[in-house]
Amino acid sequence: MLELPGGIRRVTFPLPNPPGHVHSYLLPGRTGWIVVDTGLGLPDLAERWRSVLLRLGGRTEAVVITHFHPDHVGGSADLAALTGAPVYQGDVDYEQCQQVWGSRDWERKTAAWLALHGVPGPVAEAIRLAGAAYRRFVRYARHPLPLREGERVDRWEVVALPGHADGHLGLVRDGVLVAGDHLLLGITPAVGLWPDARPDPLGDYLASLERTASLGLRLALPGHGDPIADPGGRAREIAAHHADRLQATLAALDGRPRTGYEVSLVLFPDADAPMQRRFAVAETLSHLERLVALGQAARAGDGRRVAYTAA
Ligand SMILES: [Zn+2]
């Protein structure tokens, strides 16, 4: 456990896949700890949390979820049971959480959608199976209290930071952002286009980065990796990275219609494992859709195949 300025504590849990770990933060509130994010629901997660809370002492006032990805929401039911504290989750985010983890249909739907974007059948099937393997590590709390932009949890203000997830939230107080996966050091947060999600996630994300740079932050506490001492500078760096990636995406297009899968092979030639290819295709599609929104690319589709050309 790491002690951070302002009495904030950070606990780190293992992940079976890169980046190999995820952080939760415990913020001192008026009547107890505010836990932000829960870790992936591996079998021993509840036991790990029990010993963390025992060591810290005091009650838990609230559990806050930044976004519904498995390493952040996966233990929210465990924590609710362990502490009796209310769980808060963004309303947009909880809707997607239910859609992805609450229905048996999600992997099939995603595989069909990937096929629409040119992913070959066997690859889509491998992705479907790999995705389904995550399901047993997600035990999310049902009926969380909804959270929206501008509301408060204790003395922390809720900010909406869509992009990495449509309903991604952060908490801000005195220039400190509890950032979830909105800002990371060393790696750039994945920004993918997914079925039944917002149409231009990279546009959302770039706007969220601009907003981050204007918040006058002095510290960001991310879900993975080290604390970020210059959040505004890091936001500008990540925005510049996506400007480069948009150019590379445009360069991969020519007069012939290209599927998201084909373009992903150019942009991410080494994404061999099924889940890596899944992220590569989603990330490529978010860039292609940004180019469409900018008028630099065109999308054509017939319900069986979607493809893009340079405009
Ligand atoms: Zn994460």
Q: Where are the domains of the chain?
A: 2-104+133-251
Whether 10 and 28 have beta carbons less than 8 Å apart is answered as no
Ligand 1 midpoint to CA 180 (Å): 7
Determine the pLDDT at residue 133: 86
Ligand 1 midpoint to CA 283 (Å): 15
Determine the pLDDT at residue 41: 97
Per-position DSSP letters for 10-65, written without gaps between them: EEEEE-SSTT-EEEEEEEE-SSSEEEE------TTHHHHHHHHHHHH-S-EEEEEE
Q: Which of 182, 226, 174 is nearest to 206 (CA)?
A: 182
Which amino acid makes up residue 144?
Answer: P
Ligand 1 midpoint to CA 198 (Å): 19
Residue 296 has pLDDT above 90, yes or no: yes
Residue 233 has pLDDT above 90, yes or no: yes
Residue 43 burial (10 A CB sphere; 0-12, 13-18, 19+)? exposed
Average of per-residue pLDDT across 32-36: 98
Ligand 1 midpoint to CA 22 (Å): 6
Ligand 1 midpoint to CA 303 (Å): 32
Ligand 1 midpoint to CA 115 (Å): 26
Ligand 1 midpoint to CA 137 (Å): 14
φ and ψ at residue 193, rounded to 5 degrees: -95, 130
Ligand 1 midpoint to CA 72 (Å): 6
Ligand 1 midpoint to CA 29 (Å): 24
Ligand 1 midpoint to CA 237 (Å): 19
Ligand 1 midpoint to CA 69 (Å): 7
Determine the pLDDT at residue 139: 97
Ligand 1 midpoint to CA 21 (Å): 9
Residue 302 has pLDDT above 90, yes or no: no
d(CA 12, CA 19): 12
d(CA 190, CA 168): 13
Q: Picking from 198-202, 223-227, 270-274, which range would have the lowest pLDDT averaged per residue?
A: 270-274
Determine the pLDDT at residue 255: 83
Ligand 1 midpoint to CA 302 (Å): 35
Residue 125 has pLDDT above 90, yes or no: yes
Ligand 1 midpoint to CA 301 (Å): 32
Ligand 1 midpoint to CA 19 (Å): 9
Place 204 in a pLDDT band, splitting at 50, 70 and 90: very high
Ligand 1 midpoint to CA 225 (Å): 10
d(CA 12, CA 22): 6
Domain 2-104+133-251 has CATH 3.60.15.10: yes
Ligand 1 midpoint to CA 28 (Å): 22
Ligand 1 midpoint to CA 295 (Å): 32
Whether 37 and 91 have beta carbons less than 8 Å apart is answered as no
Place 294 in a pLDDT band, splitting at 50, 70 and 90: very high
Ligand 1 midpoint to CA 181 (Å): 5
d(CA 157, CA 203): 24
Determine the pLDDT at residue 254: 84
Ligand 1 midpoint to CA 5 (Å): 22
Average of per-residue pLDDT across 171-200: 97
φ and ψ at residue 214, rounded to 5 degrees: -95, 0
Residue 251 has pLDDT above 90, yes or no: yes
Place 27 in a pLDDT band, splitting at 50, 70 and 90: very high
Cβ neighbour number for residue 5 with a 10 Å cutoff: 11
Place 119 in a pLDDT band, splitting at 50, 70 and 90: very high
Lay out the sheet containing 169-173: strands in order across: 152-153, 156-160, 169-173, 176-180, 219-222
Ligand 1 midpoint to CA 70 (Å): 8
d(CA 80, CA 103): 21
